[in-house]
């Protein structure tokens, strides 16, 4: 179930670091669900690791953060050219299973709290029923 939201309209990220393909569900100020297909020919796999490619954990954290940034701009009715997002903290990150080339990531992020321009989130990545990563983080949004 796709939405009418276009990721590139919501966040300023572009290849090679745009890590959200599609928003599949969103409720402003509550939650968002998005997907990312990890392509087998992604540049990162040339070095991480050539003989056993694994999508880096920091990419999983960034993908969840980008999904959260999409939620904020949906909630604030703003777009990529209006705002910029900064990590304030990664409160916890757990990597439950490696993310491999060819996997379709299902990301879900919940907005836990908002105070002014500061947002707390909790998110995870699943592939099918398998939990791959969990992240709790705080971010700040600023107008540009």
DSSP-derived secondary structure for 17-29: S----EEEEEETT
Those residues with Cβ within 8 angstroms of residue 41's Cβ, 6 or more apart along the chain or in another chain: none
- Within a domain: 98: yes
**13, 48, 52, 124: which one is catalytic?**
48
Q: Which has the higher per-residue pLDDT, 125 or 3? A: 125
Mean pLDDT of the chain: 97
Is the preceding omega at residue 16 within 30 degrees of 0, hence cis? yes
Q: What is the pLDDT of residue 33?
A: 99
Q: What is the pLDDT of residue 136?
A: 99
Backbone angles phi, psi at 58, to 5 degrees: -65, -30
* Whether residue 52 lies in the annotated active site: no
- pLDDT per position as a tens digit, 118-131: 999 999 999 999 99
* CATH code where residue 134 lies: 3.10.129.10
Residue 1 has pLDDT above 70, yes or no: no
What average pLDDT does this structure show over 110-114?
A: 98
Query: Could you list the residue range(s) of the whole structural domain that residue 97 is in?
Result: 7-143
- pLDDT per position as a tens digit, 92-106: 999 999 999 999 999
- Within a domain: 2: no
- Written as six digits, the tokens of 35 are 């997907």
β-partners of residue 109 are: 32, 123
- Within a domain: 1: no
Q: How many residues does the chain have?
A: 144
Those residues with Cβ within 8 angstroms of residue 128's Cβ, 6 or more apart along the chain or in another chain: none
Query: Would you give the distance in Å from CA 74 to the centre of its chain?
Result: 14
Q: What is the pTM of this model?
A: 0.97
Confidence grade of residue 3 (pLDDT, cut at 50, 70, 90): confident
Q: Three-state DSSP class for 91?
A: strand
Structural domains counted in the chain: 1
What average pLDDT does this structure show over 19-45?
A: 98
What percentage of the chain reaches a pLDDT higher than 70? 99
């Amino acid at each position: 179930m796709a939405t009418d939201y276009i990721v590139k309209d919501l966040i300023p990220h572009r290849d090679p670091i745009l890590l959200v393909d599609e928003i599949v569900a969103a409720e402003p100020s509550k939650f968002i669900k998005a997907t990312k297909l990890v392509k087998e020919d992604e540049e990162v796999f040339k070095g991480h690791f050539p003989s056993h490619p694994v999508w880096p954990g920091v990419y999983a954290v960034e993908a969840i953060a980008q999904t959260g940034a999409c939620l904020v701009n949906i909630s604030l009715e703003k777009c990529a050219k209006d705002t910029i997002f900064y990590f304030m903290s990664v409160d916890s990150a757990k990597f439950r299973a490696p993310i491999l080339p060819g996997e379709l990531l299902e990301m879900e992020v919940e907005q836990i709290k908002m105070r002014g321009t500061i947002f707390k989130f909790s998110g995870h990545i699943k592939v099918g029923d398998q939990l791959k990563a969990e992240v709790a983080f705080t971010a700040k949004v600023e107008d540009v």
